[in-house]
């Protein structure tokens, strides 16, 4: 690929950020160029400048490119702890009895459906009737939405799911495990662009799961999305984000939940006005019923979980002390970028990391090392993105957390650094 073509692929990246908020620098120039290359072959075009013209004119081509750069990595009951927090939150909402209006939940992005279906199973397992809640699910990829509506899954979707859970909620078919129709019918799917569709939404949600999208967005786009979500949430509503995304959530809108591996927040009072659709100033400019379920053991009636205030105060004090100790420990550590080496050695190792990620795009260790190398080259934004991906793949990586604390502190992101310190502190035995 010539230097001219690389310049043009950068313009495609600018279009991608303006359209979807996705940052080309975060998904990686190699990934974007590979996607463009595939579309050039399919469309029969011979250069990226001509392809950009097609992209700007064709909504179908826009969708095709987006499908190639978005990676819908998900599985049922992913990380578990957020679903335990969901149960607690819903128990508090129904403490006085079932609501007169359905409780509203949103999963966005929903990928191929495992997350919103996990929400549905969690609430049904609590004993909630299907007609007392509604689950909306949104994703930008049509292929993912089609798969979600089919609700037939392979073994990759069941990491950490017990055989009993499979037998309870799925049926074996030649194509894979098919979700029980009564669960499938609860979730309402929509293919849409989150950067624009929320402005048309009138629903006010009690719970929103928005996990592992913010790490791929331009900073202006992620803040726009969080403000849009906040304006659709009731006061006290629950927001769940990804493990590497907590530092992006504004404290002016949300209060953090101090529970390990929840990565949750509560919507504060006084929701702001719904922001307008992102403008050129904020994003890069364009170049010119009840469920019939299989037989199962009876469940006890839902009871709200009482909070022990004194115990909670003690826990918070312990967490604060642990956070201080962890921060001091990090301060004493040598900066994670202090390993020396020549520029040629760094370039060679960077290339090796890129090759390894091409073979194994889910290697947390490779993302960690890549972040370290990029920081040594003063590419701090790219280094942060790689460390976030490491934490996305391995939320309890001490080395990645320590690196994030150091780097965010160096960049003057004090609040974000403190949040990562808190996460590290909660891992201290």
State the angle between helix axes of 309-332 and 398-410 in degrees (0 to 180), rounded to the nearest 10.
80
Q: In the structure, what pLDDT confidence band is assigned to residue 418 with cuts at 50, 70 and 90? A: confident
Q: Look at residues 398, 336, 406 and name the one whose alpha carbon lies nearest to residue 373.
A: 336
Residue 164 has pLDDT above 80, yes or no: yes
Q: 311-425: what CATH class?
A: mainly alpha
Q: What are the φ and ψ backbone dihedral angles of 44, each rounded to 5 degrees?
A: 80, 10
Query: How wide is the angle at C-alpha 73 spanned by C-alphas 68 and 75, nearest 5°?
Result: 145
The predicted structure's pLDDT at residue 270:
62
The predicted structure's pLDDT at residue 8:
58
238 within 8 A of 86, measured Cβ to Cβ = yes
Residue 282 has pLDDT above 50, yes or no: no
Number of H helices, E strands in the chain: 18, 10
288 within 8 A of 15, measured Cβ to Cβ = no
Which is the CATH superfamily of the domain at 81-267?
Vaccinia Virus protein VP39 (3.40.50.150)
The predicted structure's pLDDT at residue 357:
78
* Lowest-pLDDT range of 1-10, 160-169, 262-271: 1-10
Starting at the edge strand that comes first in sequence, how are the strands of the sheet with 176-179 ordered? 152-153, 176-179, 170-173
The residue ranking higher by pLDDT, 279 or 379, is 379
C-alpha pair distances (Å), 76 with each of 122, 243, 329: 11, 17, 36
Q: What are the φ and ψ backbone dihedral angles of 375, each rounded to 5 degrees?
A: -65, -35
Question: Tell me: the pLDDT tens digits for 56-99?
Answer: 999 999 999 999 999 888 999 999 999 999 999 999 999 888 88
Q: Which residue ranges make up each domain of the chain?
A: 3-69, 81-267, 311-425
Q: Give the residue-averaged pLDDT of 162-175.
A: 94
Residue 358 has pLDDT above 60, yes or no: yes
Q: Give the residue-averaged pLDDT of 398-413.
A: 83
Q: Give the residue-averaged pLDDT of 196-205.
A: 90
Q: Considering the chain, what is the average pLDDT of its residues?
A: 81
* DSSP letters spanning 326-391: HHHHHHHSPPTT-----HHHHHHHHHHHHHHHHH-TT-HHHHHHHHHHHHHTT-HHHHHHHHHHHH
Residue 341 and residue 193: Cα distance in Å, rounded? 44
Q: Which residue has the tokens 């009871």?
A: 303
The predicted structure's pLDDT at residue 293:
44
The residue ranking higher by pLDDT, 374 or 421, is 374
Task: Give me 213's structure tokens.
Answer: 């999208």
Fold equal for 81-267 and 311-425: no
Residue 291 and residue 285: Cα distance in Å, rounded? 48
Residue 307 has pLDDT above 60, yes or no: no
Residue 90 and residue 107: Cα distance in Å, rounded? 16
Q: In the structure, what pLDDT confidence band is assigned to residue 295 with cuts at 50, 70 and 90? A: very low
Question: Tell me: the pLDDT tens digits for 2-35?
Answer: 444 444 578 899 999 999 999 988 888 888 999 9
Residue 213 and residue 404: Cα distance in Å, rounded? 19
Provide the percentage of residues in the chain whose pLDDT is more than 70: 79
The residue ranking higher by pLDDT, 195 or 391, is 195
């Amino acid at each position: 690929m010539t230097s001219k073509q690389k310049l043009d692929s950068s313009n495609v990246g600018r279009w991608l950020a303006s359209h979807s908020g996705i940052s080309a620098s975060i998904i990686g120039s190699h990934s974007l160029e590979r996607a463009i290359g595939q579309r050039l072959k399919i469309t029969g075009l011979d250069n990226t400048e001509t392809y950009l013209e097609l992209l700007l004119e064709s909504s179908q081509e826009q969708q095709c490119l987006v499908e190639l750069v978005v990676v819908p990595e998900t599985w049922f009951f992913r990380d578990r702890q957020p679903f335990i927090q969901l149960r607690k939150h819903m128990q508090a909402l129904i403490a006085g009895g079932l609501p007169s209006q359905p409780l509203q939940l949103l999963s966005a992005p929903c990928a191929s459906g495992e997350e919103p279906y996990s929400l549905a199973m969690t609430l049904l397992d609590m004993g909630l009737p299907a007609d007392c809640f509604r689950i909306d699910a949104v994703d930008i990829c049509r292929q993912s939405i089609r798969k979600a509506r089919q609700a037939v899954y392979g073994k990759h979707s069941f990491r950490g799911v017990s055989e009993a859970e499979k037998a309870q909620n799925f049926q074996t078919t030649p194509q894979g495990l098919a979700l029980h129709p009564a669960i499938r019918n609860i979730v309402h799917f929509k293919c849409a662009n989150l950067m624009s569709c929320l402005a048309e939404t009138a629903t006010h949600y009690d719970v929103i799961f928005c996990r592992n999208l913010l790490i791929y967005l331009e900073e202006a786009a992620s803040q726009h999305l969080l403000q849009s979500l906040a304006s659709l949430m009731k006061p006290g509503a629950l927001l769940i984000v990804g493990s590497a995304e907590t530092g992006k959530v504004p404290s002016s809108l949300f209060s953090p939940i101090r529970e390990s591996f929840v990565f949750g927040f509560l919507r504060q009072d006084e929701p702001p006005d719904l922001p307008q659709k992102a403008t050129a100033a904020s994003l890069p400019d364009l170049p010119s019923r009840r469920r019939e379920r299989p037989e199962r053991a009876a469940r006890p009636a839902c009871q709200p979980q009482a909070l022990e205030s004194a115990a909670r105060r003690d826990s918070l004090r312990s967490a604060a002390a642990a956070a201080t100790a962890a921060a001091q420990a990090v301060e004493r550590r040598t900066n994670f970028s202090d390993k020396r080496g020549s520029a040629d050695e760094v370039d060679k190792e960077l290339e090796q990391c890129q090759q390894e990620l091409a073979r194994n795009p889910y290697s947390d260790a490779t993302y960690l090392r890549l972040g370290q190398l990029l920081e040594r080259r003063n590419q701090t934004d790219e280094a942060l993105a790689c460390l976030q991906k490491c934490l996305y793949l391995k939320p309890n990586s001490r080395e990645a957390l320590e690196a994030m604390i150091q780097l965010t502190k160096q960049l003057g992101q004090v609040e974000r650094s403190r949040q990562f310190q808190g996460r590290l502190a909660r891992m201290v035995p």
